[in-house]
Structure 1
C-alpha cells in the first residue's frame, strides 16, 4: 500500500489543509508545544482532575475525561469545574475530550458507532440529551468559552484563542484483546467520517486511517505505555484485563498515528508530571523520526 502523505507531513503544514477548525488548532498547538500526548484522566473527583490537569498540563495537548462520572463536578458556569478547566486549558494550552455513547449510522452503513469522543474547549454545562439529539441530527453544537476574567497573564505564550466548535473522534478500532470491532465496521466509520468532515476530526484507532488522497483526519490511539525508566529496551505487556500496550515509537512510527493516549502509565507513576514529560519527549521524538 502506498504511504499516505500525512505520514511525512509536519503537523503545522497539515493544519493548513485541515477541514475542521479545531483540527487545525490542535495541530498548531501540537507543533507549538512539541507534544502529541493525550492524558486519559480517569480519576474519581473533580479536585483530583483539576490538580492533575494543572500539574501535567505543560506536557499534554489533550485532556480526556469522563466528566459525567467524576464525583463532585460543579456545573456552575462561572465558578464550576468546567470554568476552572477552561482557565487551565488557556494557561497550559489544552483541548478537552469527553467520551460519550452512540452516534447512529445504522440506516446507511449497517453499523452503529457505539462510542465516540467529543473534543473542544472545556466548559461547565452538562452534555445532555438535547445535545445528543442535535448530534444525531447533524447540527453543530457550540461551546461557551467559560474563560474567567483576568486569565490573560497566565495564558500559555504563543497559543491562539481556541475555536468554540466541537469536533468528533469516532471509535473505529480498539486496543483490547478479542475486540468485536471488525474491518467492515472500521471501514464504515471512515466512510461516515468522510461524509461529515465539517464535524468529524478523526478517529480513535490503532493505525492511521487516512487512505484517500484528500483524507486529513487525526488519529489518536490508546494502549500506549513505556517500560520503566532505564529499561526502555524491554517490551511492554498488557494489564491482564484485556488491554494491550504499545510504545510511542511503535504507534507513531510503525502505525502512523498522530496522538498517543496514556492513562495508568502516568496516573500510577510516583511523579506524574515527570512521567508525563517522559512520555511527551519520547512521543515527540518518534514523530520527528517519522517526518524526517
Structure 2
C-alpha cells in the first residue's frame, strides 16, 4: 500500500516530550525507552516453538523498543515461556506487545484477556483489538487492562492487500479511540497518521516494513522505514522475517536488526529536523 500523509503535529515533537504529556503509564514508558535506546523498532516473533522465539528475542533485544508475539501459535507453550519473556523485557529494556487482535463482545474478550492458559494481561504490556464489535470490546478489555496499567491499540488499517479496514471503518476506529480516552486506548495499528484531523497524539505502529519495498506471495505489502516514519508520520516500525529470517548466527541477526533500528531512527530524526 503506497500512502504519504503530511506529518501530524505530534510527530514533530521528540518521543521524550510526548512521554511527559501522555496519560497512559505504558505509553509513557514506551516513549521514554524509545528515546533512551534510540529505537523505534518492534520485532514480530512469528515462530511456533518457545525456545526458538526466546532465542530470537535474545538476539535482537539490544536493538528493539518492543517485541510482538502471537501467543496462540506456540506449539509447546507453558507459563515458563512468558515468565522468561517478561524477564528478558526487564533485563533488556523493551515492552511486550501481544498481537492478539481481539474481535468479540466485551464479556468474551475480557475472559480471553485475563483467563485461559495464556493469561495475556499478566505479562503483555500492550495488546490490540479490532473495532468491528463496537465500543463494548474496548470497555471489556479495559476492565482487565486498565487496573494493571496496560495499553490497548485498535486496528485502524492493515498492511495486507485487499483488506477492508479502509475509509469510514478507519474513521470510526479513530473516533472509538477518542471516546475511550488515551489513558487506555493509546493508538493504532495503521499505515499512516489516521488521526490527522486532530491533535490527540496517538501512537501509530506500522507492520509491513522492509528495507526494500516489495510484497510476498500471501498479500503482505512492504514499505521502507523511511516511507513509514518520515513520509507517513508513524511511530514504530514492525519487522519480522526480514530480520530473523536471514542466514547467519546471532551476531548476523542482531546486525540486521541494527540496520532497521538505524534506518527507523534516522527517519525519525529527519522528521524532527524537517519540522
Calculate the TM-score normalised by the size of structure 1: 0.76
* RMSD (CA atoms): 2.7
Distance 2:245 2:101 in 1: 27
- Secondary structure in structure 2 of the residue aligned to 1:86: helix
Answering whether residue 258 of structure 2 is matched by residue 277 of structure 1, we say yes
- Secondary structure in structure 2 of the residue aligned to 1:137: helix
> Aligned-pair distance for 1:138?
5.5
Going from structure 1 to structure 2, the CA distance change for 1:45 and 1:284 (only over 3 Å counts) comes to same
> Aligned-pair distance for 1:102?
3.3
- The range that moved more, 265-274 or 32-41, is 265-274
More helix by share: 2
In the alignment, what sits opposite 1:242?
A: 219
- Secondary structure in structure 1 of the residue aligned to 2:20: helix
> Aligned-pair distance for 1:208?
1.5
In the alignment, what sits opposite 1:218?
A: 203
In the alignment, what sits opposite 1:267?
A: 244
- Secondary structure in structure 1 of the residue aligned to 2:144: coil
State which of 169, 175, 184 in structure 2 corresponds to 1:199.
Answer: 184
Tell me if the contact between 1:43 and 1:70 (Cα under 8 Å) persists in the aligned partners: yes
Distance 1:185 1:14 in 2: 27
Answering whether residue 129 of structure 2 is matched by residue 126 of structure 1, we say no
Answering whether residue 270 of structure 2 is matched by residue 289 of structure 1, we say yes
> Aligned-pair distance for 1:35?
0.1
Going from structure 1 to structure 2, the CA distance change for 1:251 and 1:71 (only over 3 Å counts) comes to same
Answering whether residue 68 of structure 2 is matched by residue 48 of structure 1, we say no
Long gaps (5+) in structure 2: 122-128, 130-135
In the alignment, what sits opposite 1:109?
A: none
Tell me if the contact between 1:19 and 1:216 (Cα under 8 Å) persists in the aligned partners: no
Distance 1:126 1:283 in 2: 32
Going from structure 1 to structure 2, the CA distance change for 1:45 and 1:191 (only over 3 Å counts) comes to same
Distance 1:32 1:84 in 2: 23
In the alignment, what sits opposite 2:124?
A: none
Distance 1:193 1:30 in 2: 23
In the alignment, what sits opposite 1:74?
A: 78
Tell me if the contact between 1:17 and 1:216 (Cα under 8 Å) persists in the aligned partners: no
- Secondary structure in structure 2 of the residue aligned to 1:275: helix
Q: Greater relative contact order: 1 or 2 (C-alpha under 8 angstroms, separation 6 or more)?
A: 2
Distance 2:70 2:92 in 1: 20
> Aligned-pair distance for 1:212?
4.6
Going from structure 1 to structure 2, the CA distance change for 1:2 and 1:250 (only over 3 Å counts) comes to closer
Cα displacement string for residues 18-48 of structure 1 (whole angstroms, at most 9, x for unaligned residues): 1211111100010000000000100111101
Structure 1 runs (4+) deviating above 6 angstroms are none
In the alignment, what sits opposite 2:167?
A: 183
Distance 2:6 2:138 in 1: 34
Tell me if the contact between 1:134 and 1:140 (Cα under 8 Å) persists in the aligned partners: no
Q: Which has the larger radius of gyration?
A: 1
Distance 2:62 2:271 in 1: 23
Distance 2:240 2:6 in 1: 33
Answering whether residue 84 of structure 2 is matched by residue 100 of structure 1, we say no
Distance 2:85 2:221 in 1: 30
Long gaps (5+) in structure 1: 107-113, 119-123, 144-162, 228-235
